[in-house]
Structure 1
Amino acid sequence: MRLLFFCFLLIGNFFNSQIRKDTLGEIKYPDCVEFDKKDKEYYDRLMEESKETDYSGLADVIIKNINTKSLKTKNLKLYIRKIRTICGNEIDYSVCSSKINIINPIYNEYKFWTEKSIKDLSKKLDKNLIFAVKYYGFGNSEIFLNEETYSDRYVSKEVRKFITSQKKGTYNEASFYYIPSSEKVKTEVEKADYLSLHFTNHLKKIVVVKYNINGEDIYKTFQYDHKKWKVIDNKNEFKFIN
Structure 2
Amino acid sequence: MNAVDFFSFTTEAWSAANAVAALLSLTAHWVTESFERMSAVLKVLLLNESHTGQYLATKYEEMLASWKIPLVKVHLVFRDNAANMMKAMHDQASPSFRCFAHSLQLVVNHGVLAHQAVLDLLATCKKIVGHFKHLTTAYSKLQEMQEQLQLPLHRLEQNVKTRWNHSLYMLMSVLEMKMALVAYAFEHIFTVLTQYPANLAAKVVAALEPIKETTEAILADSTSWLFHW
TM over 0.5: no
Q: Point out the structure with max Rg over C-alpha.
A: 2
Higher RCO (Cα < 8 Å, 6 or more apart):
1
What TM-score does the superposition give when structure 2 sets the normalisation length?
Answer: 0.20
Q: Which has the higher strand share?
A: 1
Q: Which has the higher helix share?
A: 2
